[in-house]
Structure 1
Amino acid sequence: MLSLLPLLCIFACILQPLYACDSCYGPSDYTSHKRLVRRMQPGALNATTKPRGPLEWGQINFMHTTDTHGWLAGHLKEENYGADWGDYASFVKHMRKKADELEVDLLLVDTGDLHDGNGLSDTTTPNGVYTDELFTKVDYDLLTVGNHELYVTEIAYEAFANFSNVYGERYLTSNVQILNNATGEFEDMGHRFRYFTTKHGLRIMAFGVLFDFTGNSEVSKITKGADMIKEEWFIEAIKTEPVDLFVVIGHNPVRPGGNDGTLPIVQKAIRDARPDVPIQLFGGHYHVRDFIVWDETSTGLASGQYCETVGWLAMTGIKSPTFKGSMKPKGVPNPTRRAMVDGKIPPPAPPSYNTGGDEGMLYARRYLDWNRLTFAYHAVGSQDPKLDTKLGKWITGDITEFRKAQELATVVGCVPQTYCESCIPYGEEGNIFNLAEVALAATVINETRADKPRMILINTGSIRFDLVKGPFTLDDSYIVSPFPNSFMFIPDVPYAQAKEVLPILNAGPYQKKRSVSVDTHSSSMLAGRGICADPPLATSMKAKRDLLMPRSITRQPRESLDMTPGHTTTDDFGTDGDDTPHSEIPRFEVPNDVQANASFPTDGSEPEAVDLVFIDFIGEDYVLPALAEAGGSYTMEDVQYYMPPEFTSNQYLQEYAEMAWQEGMPNCGVDI
């Protein structure tokens, strides 16, 4: 729960805009902040396996983040991803310095979705008040908006105020507008495009495009990609001369195939108009590591999720009369691979160190694990203490203080074993959806109807992360099940109909948020409804990546040459993109929905009727149609609250932990 002090400070800042207002968790001037920790977060684990080798550096290079979802404190229980936003800020500073020394360009790109997934972002009102401000401490060159910035009116305005004001022309929202309350008119949330020249003379035209999202609140408006490319401003922008490189960033699947993805539409429109100019795309939304070849001079990169990955892309071969840097920087490996179409994978080449020649466009891509060992290796040659910068240490300390103020490390129970989303088959011990069924049956109880049989449905997309053995903290509640969906029900549904609902749902399409025409913040029935329109866990593309293997919170000695479980990526360049080698994690499909049964007859017989309980996200668009298919005749007029509105789907696991996982409290047998 948000403490009173942070709220008072937030309101103080709002009410006194003419005065400098220090953060409630430290002065706004990081040089005077009292740092509590040296690096990372207290208790966070550092990696033990080094990257496989130095990065390739090209004429222009990119560092890409996406779908951070509030994980700026890092993964405190997982050694592969233990760095925090302060460590990343220090890494950025060193890499920019290295780029200057090599006389090449380095651009930072982010493709949206900044909260809904971690207590650091989701314990404020609105979500992201703290993490959005912290995010802006890193000086990005190009950014765009994600769908999670647009569901709720207050969050949309918060993102608009923060990013448009801080990043200015670098915040690109080519097809997203927001309502100006003063004029009653829609205006661009950021900028439609950015035409600029890099430090070393490359002339770039950049766009930022959201997928064809329909779940936004009424204060924002999304233009479909197919319509945007017909607008006069876009047609004129892609005609701009001279352009050495087009960059298209988007909260969008980078690989074609989805019905709502817009990157293929934009890429084709640019390519048709400018067949000889390279096009580089950066995507997100699907939470995967991926690299795709569009044509010989156009590729796309996606860089994971949850502060697990920094995407790296190096390019060489752009011909420009104004470029004054190094085409092939000396003393470091250079890109060696051509972009080959028709499904051909270019063979790995030995590192090229300034070999000269004119080979056309050459590329290198890498997916960096988010930890200090990786950052230090690439930035300062594995000298860990040298990684720290003044800004980075301030950010780390500020995160520590905020976590304390929000009591995110408060332990409410001891998880007896690790539960994962997909590394163990659904139905077997250790699968988190089996745990969810047990927890739902034990906690979702309407006391006035407790003796009536009930069937409780949730969509598997409401659970977003694994649950690690050891302390269950308040932060874990937001990490594992972040969305505040209400529990609704239809009373006394004939069991013959109710028992058909789950099979129908699991035979149907993955459940995405419907388009709404009301303000989802102010409508009590829709508040928190369908928070996420992210893709299912078990799509064919998602099967290309692994989820994180949950790791013990205790430190385990390991030889540095041993591979830890982690990302093992296959993309259009093959299987060597992961910067740190990992052992593969098994991955099994999960259903669309799961169901808990409670208060059924003890003799094993079937009840005549049940209370059909479900979270509001799946009610109108999925449960009611499934009931109709099963022979029922129900409308939203028949739907009622089963639990008080304030008891939502991000609370039942915490309540279950307080009820069933008290053995070993308060430390759960580990040093925390």
Structure 2
Amino acid sequence: MIDRFLVLSTVLLGALGAQPSAPSPIAAPLRELPWGQLNILHTTDTHGWHGGHLQEPQYSADWGDYISFAKHMRDKADEDGSDLLVVDTGDRIEGNGLYDASDPKGRYTFDIIKEQEVDIICSGNHELYKSNSSEDEFRQTVPGFKGSYLASNLDIYNSETDTFEPLAPRFKKFTAKNQGIRIIAFGFLYDFNGNANNTKVQPVEETVKEQWFQDAIRDRNVDLFLVIGHVPVRFSKETNLIYKTIRKVQWDTPIQFLGGHTHIRDYVRYDSKAYGVESGRYMETIGFVSISGLSTSGKDGARQLEPRKANPSFSRRYIDNNLYSMHHHSLKNDTTFATPLGPNVSSLIASARKTLNLDKTFGCAPHDFWLNRAPYPSNDSILTWLENEVLPDFITKSSTDEATPAYIITNTGAMRFDIFKGPFTIDTTFLVSPFTSGFRYLPSVPYEKATKILQLLNNEGPISLSELRISHLSASSSLHDSALRESDLDILTPARRPVNFMSEKGISIPQTERSIAQVPLASTLDHGATKLTPGYTTTDDAGSDGDDTLHEPITFYDVPNCIAAAVPPAHPSSSSRSSHLSHSSNSHKQEDSDDEGPQTVQLVFNEFIQGWVVLALRYLGEEVDAADTRPYAGGKSFTDVISEWVGEHWTC
């Protein structure tokens, strides 16, 4: 039986999402939002998915729908005398055709996102990888959210003044309009060092020592510290340091963290007056946080409770981004939900998608291919498909030396999403792999050492990724600038996942494991009179009731950091000595076998992992440097490799 905290419509929601091709959301049991004195709507790591998920009903609402939803929630707050803030914590770009398919990239994105009234916003690491995207942030996004954008530890080069300057104000102090809650807000980025050279990210350890920060946290006329940032809220040295630094001088003032980067739903308790939330990824989740029991002032300005005497309570919900949830939580329906602005933004998204021809089809996938929903290796694994079909075909067509076998390595994080059965479109290519890095190669590497590289990158060898990172710190400065760091594991590996998605053994996986890509939702499990859809079933520090929608848990399977494929030479005379090469990852553990493999191979690799490949080879005794590598296949990107293969092999 559904408990009293859950509600269910007696009929399916009939209206489609705002985008013409969006599927209708599915009715499901919902938990009510724990509305409080101060309420916050939170998005993070949207990665260009502002058009919503056009193949997944549970996440099919778009940015225009979110604008309407936020407006209704603000109106509700005004009506009952509470307050509502809207927050975004970065990584708004890269990962969807709406951003990646335009020239220049992001041509339409800014005009879309700026229509939402956001109270506090900050940068993520993806805004900073390239100088043009960080310049767009400086010239467009920051002015578009003037007074809301914060950059506590981020500077950018201003060509007009020929100096580095703060990307935006370091912090702000403001008073919530209805309750009179005095808030000091910060906007941080984790200690990211993969940024373009027109930006500088100051380590948080240095930032918290600066006078402006020390003065801000000593302000006793504050009721709440609101620390937003593109920073994980759990097991993060940056978050822990900020928390401890504030607590050293303000042991009793409430603190709310809003983080991101790890693509998970999570809620962390630091103490009875300090909590942190992350709100998922890819516009799948709208986070909702509420705080009650804060010190306030009435219209006459009189304090009703001093901050140090406040005894606040904190709550959270993770809202599935679809119209069914939005209608219910805003107390609206199909005819009353749309605001004047929301549908206009939805139309802007639809127009941009049409201009970019995002629905153009390369081919049709014969079945679903999963990043984590299927075991690896298996026929339903997207990685097995890459390893056995796409990468060997790419190497065969691109080989610079047919007499020498080739061995290709790529990071699994280059794949960001699942492939669903049916049309594989321009949009799909960017959903699956949005990164522009190409491939590079070394013309002659001992085969035995090439296979050991994969073991090292997958933590199967004598050293781990963290030890490679330590090696990198002492390595030659001539290493390629794109060498991976531990902080870049959101690209090295698939994004991390909610803590209680179940493994194939039915054992709850720790939060630090990787995330699952979502299944297209369909009713599969009876729950009383209701069939539950597969989806997020999050357990966090507040329990297992955080998701607004009751779901059936999704089974997930772990995958390696990197995969590899090997291709023998084309002519038969060399086939015998190359028979040791296999497309299966299991063969990569056979280097100690008595079978005679090839002596050398062309080592091809995704450019993004070049730094790690070079380090691994050095560890294995090869005297190589980044300068020894060469462009492969004319610099063709992984995205192009996949779309071309689909066009040649998958018919509709």
So what's the TM-score if we normalise by structure 2? 0.84
Aligned to 2:537: 568
Query: How much has 1:359 moved relative to structure 2?
Result: 9.5
Which letter maps to 2:364?
C
Within a 5 Å distance, the mapping from 1:657-672 to structure 2 comes to 657-662=646-651, 665=652
Following TM superposition, by how much is the alpha carbon of 1:49 offset from its aligned partner in structure 2, in angstroms?
2.7
* Residue number in structure 2 paired with 1:409: 359
CA distance in structure 2 between the partners assigned to 1:538 and 1:414 by the alignment: 26
Contact 1:206 1:249 in 2 (8 A): yes
Are 1:650 and 2:628 an aligned pair? no
AA of the residue aligned to 1:617: F
Q: Match of 1:240?
A: 219
Compared CA separation, residues 122 and 528, structure 1 to 2 (3 A): farther
Kindly provide the CA deviation profile for residues 476-531 of structure 1, in whole angstroms up to 9, marking residues without a partner as x.
11111111111111112222222222112211227999999xxxxxx9x8699999
Q: Is the 8 A contact 1:549 1:565 kept in 2?
A: yes
* C-alpha displacement of 1:556: 11
**Distance apart, 1:288 and its partner CA:** 0.4
Contact 1:145 1:251 in 2 (8 A): yes
| Cα distance in structure 2, aligned partners of 1:373 and 1:394 | 20
Give the SS at the match of 2:144.
helix
- Measure the CA separation in 2 of the matches of 1:254 and 1:513: 25
CA distance in structure 2 between the aligned counterparts of 1:165 and 1:211, rounded to whole angstroms: 23
Match of 1:281, SS state, is strand
Partner SS for 2:465: coil
Task: Tell me the residue number matched to 1:611.
Answer: 602
Q: CA deviation at 1:324?
A: 8.2
CA distance in 2, matches of 1:232, 1:174: 12
Q: Structure 1: how far apart are the matches of 2:361 and 2:270?
A: 48
The one-letter code sitting in structure 1 at the alignment partner of 2:55 is K
Contact kept in structure 2, 1:50 and 1:377, CA below 8 Å = no
Q: CA separation in 1, counterparts of 2:107 and 2:470?
A: 24
Q: Name the residue aligned to 2:250.
A: 274
SS in 1 for 2:430: helix
The equivalent position to 1:189 in structure 2, one of 163, 167, 175, is: 167
Aligned counterparts, 1:152-231, within 5 A: 152-200=130-178, 201-231=180-210
Please name the residue that 1:519 is paired with.
Answer: none
1:317 aligns with 2:266: no
Q: What secondary structure is seen at the aligned counterpart in 2 of 1:236? A: helix
1:599, CA displacement in angstroms?
2.5
Q: Deviation per CA, 1:244-285, whole angstroms, max 9, x where unpaired?
A: 111000000011x24xx4121112111211112111110000
Aligned: 1:128 with 2:128: no
Distance 1:616 1:154 in 2: 20
- Cα shift readout 1:609-630 (whole Å, capped 9, x = no counterpart): 21110011111x2112222333
Structure 2 CA distance for partners of 1:628 and 1:526, relative to 1, 3 Å: closer
| Deviation for aligned residue 1:92 | 0.9
**Given residue 420 of structure 1, which amino acid in structure 2 is its aligned partner?**
W
Using a 3 Å threshold, how does the CA distance of structure 1 residues 61 and 394 change in structure 2: closer, same or farther? same
* TM-aligned CA distance change 1:262 to 1:632, over 3 Å: same
- Change beyond 3 A, Cα 1:229–1:556: closer
CA distance in 2, matches of 1:462, 1:426: 16
**Structure 1 residues 75 and 81, CA gap change in structure 2 (3 angstroms):** same
- Cα contact 1:215–1:514 (8 A) shared by 2: no
- Does the 8 A contact of 1:485 with 1:616 survive in 2? yes
The correspondence of residues 101-140 of structure 1 with structure 2, limited to 5 A, is 101-140=79-118
Q: Give me the whole-angstrom Cα distance separating, in 1, the residues matched to 2:361 and 2:192.
A: 38
SS at match of 2:445: strand
Question: Residue type matched to 2:28 in 1?
Answer: K
1:418 Cα deviation after fit: 0.8
Q: Give 2:336's aligned residue.
A: 386
- In structure 1, how many angstroms separate the alpha carbons of the residues matched to 2:560 and 2:381? 12
1:147 pairs with 125, 136, 142, which one?
A: 125
Whether 2:389 is the aligned partner of 1:433: answer: no
Extract unaligned runs of 5+ from structure 2.
1-14, 304-308, 497-509, 581-596
Deviation at 1:573, TM superposition (A): 0.6
Counterpart residue type for residue 581 of structure 1: L
User: How many residues were matched structurally?
Assistant: 581
> In the alignment, is the contact (CA less than 8 A) between 2:495 and 2:515 conserved in 1?
no
State which of 453, 457, 460 in structure 2 corresponds to 1:505: 457
Q: Are the aligned partners of 1:249 and 1:282 in contact in 2 as well (CA < 8 Å)?
A: yes
Describe the superposition over 1:548-604 as per-residue Cα deviations: whole angstroms up to 9, x where unpaired. 12458xx99999821111111110011110100111111222111100111255442
Q: Are the aligned partners of 1:86 and 1:393 in contact in 2 as well (CA < 8 Å)?
A: yes
* Structure 1 unpaired stretches of 5+: 1-36, 328-357, 517-522, 666-672
1:153 Cα deviation after fit: 0.7
Contact 1:546–1:567 (8 Å) recurs in 2: no
| Per-residue deviation, residues 421-461 of structure 1 (Å, max 9, x unmatched) | 11222112211111121211112432542453111100111
Q: Could you tell me whether the CA contact under 8 Å between 1:133 and 1:162 is conserved in 2?
A: no
Residues 533, 497 of structure 1: alpha-carbon distance in 2 compared, 3 angstrom cutoff? closer
Aligned AA for 2:278? A
**1:189-588 equivalence runs, <5 A:** 189-200=167-178, 201-255=180-234, 257-258=235-236, 261-322=237-298, 360-381=311-332, 383-437=333-387, 438-444=389-395, 445-507=397-459, 508-509=464-465, 534=490, 536-537=493-494, 540-543=510-513, 546-550=516-520, 561-588=530-557
Cα–Cα, structure 1 residues 360 and 57, in superposed 2: closer, same or farther, change >3 Å? same
Distance 1:634 1:222, change over 3 A: same
Deviation at 1:608, TM superposition (A): 2.5
SS at match of 1:314: strand
1:13 aligned partner: none
In 2, the alpha carbon distance for the partners of 1:134 and 1:311 equals 20
Give the secondary-structure state (helix, strand or coil) at the position aligned to 1:235: helix
1:38 Cα deviation after fit: 8.0
Please say if residues 67 and 112 of structure 1, whose CA atoms lie closer than 8 Å, have aligned partners that are also in contact.
yes
Task: After superposing the two structures, state which structure 1 stretch, 543-552 or 498-507, moved more.
Answer: 543-552
Distance 1:659 1:432 in 2: 17
Secondary structure at 1:215 match in 2: coil
> SS of 2:61's equivalent?
coil
Matching residue's letter, 1:441: P
Aligned-partner Cα distance in 2 for 1:629–1:323: 67
Mapped partners of 2:450, 2:514: distance in 1:
35
Q: Percent identity?
A: 38
Range with greater deviation from structure 2 (428-437 or 38-47): 38-47
Rate the CA distance shift 1:639–1:86 in 2: closer, same or farther, 3 A. same
Moved more, 282-291 or 483-492: 483-492
8 Å Cα contact 1:112-1:145 kept in structure 2: yes
Letter in 1 for 2:615: P
Alpha carbons of structure 1 residues 195 and 513: separation in structure 2 relative to 1, 3 Å: farther
Instruction: Tell me the equivalent position of 1:330.
Output: none
Counterpart secondary structure, 1:493: strand
Indicate yes or no: 2:637 matched with 1:637. Answer: no
> Could you say what secondary structure the match of 2:434 adopts?
coil
Look up the equivalent residue of 2:620 and give its one-letter code. Answer: A
Partner of 1:624: 614
| 1:670 equivalent in structure 2 | none
Q: Would the aligned equivalents of 1:413 and 1:472 in 2 still touch at CA under 8 Å?
A: yes
Q: Distance in 1 between matches of 2:190 and 2:551?
A: 32
Secondary structure of 1:127's aligned partner = coil
Per-residue Cα deviation, 1:334-376 (whole angstroms, up to 9, x for no partner)? xxxxxxxxxxxxxxxxxxxxxxxx9932222100000011111
- Is 2:28 the counterpart of 1:77? no
Query: Residue type of the partner of 2:154?
Result: V
Amino acid of the structure 1 residue aligned with 2:241: I
**Is 1:88 the counterpart of 2:38 in the alignment?**
no
For residue 127 of structure 1, report the CA deviation from its aligned partner. Answer: 2.7
1:387 partner SS: coil
**Quick check: 423-432 or 445-454, which moved more?**
445-454
SS of the residue corresponding to residue 31 of structure 2 reads coil
Equivalent of residue 26 in structure 2, options 48, 66, 74: 48
Q: Distance in 2 between matches of 1:95 and 1:362?
A: 20
**In structure 2, the residue corresponding to 1:101 is in which secondary structure?**
helix
User: How far 1:132 moved relative to its partner?
Assistant: 2.2
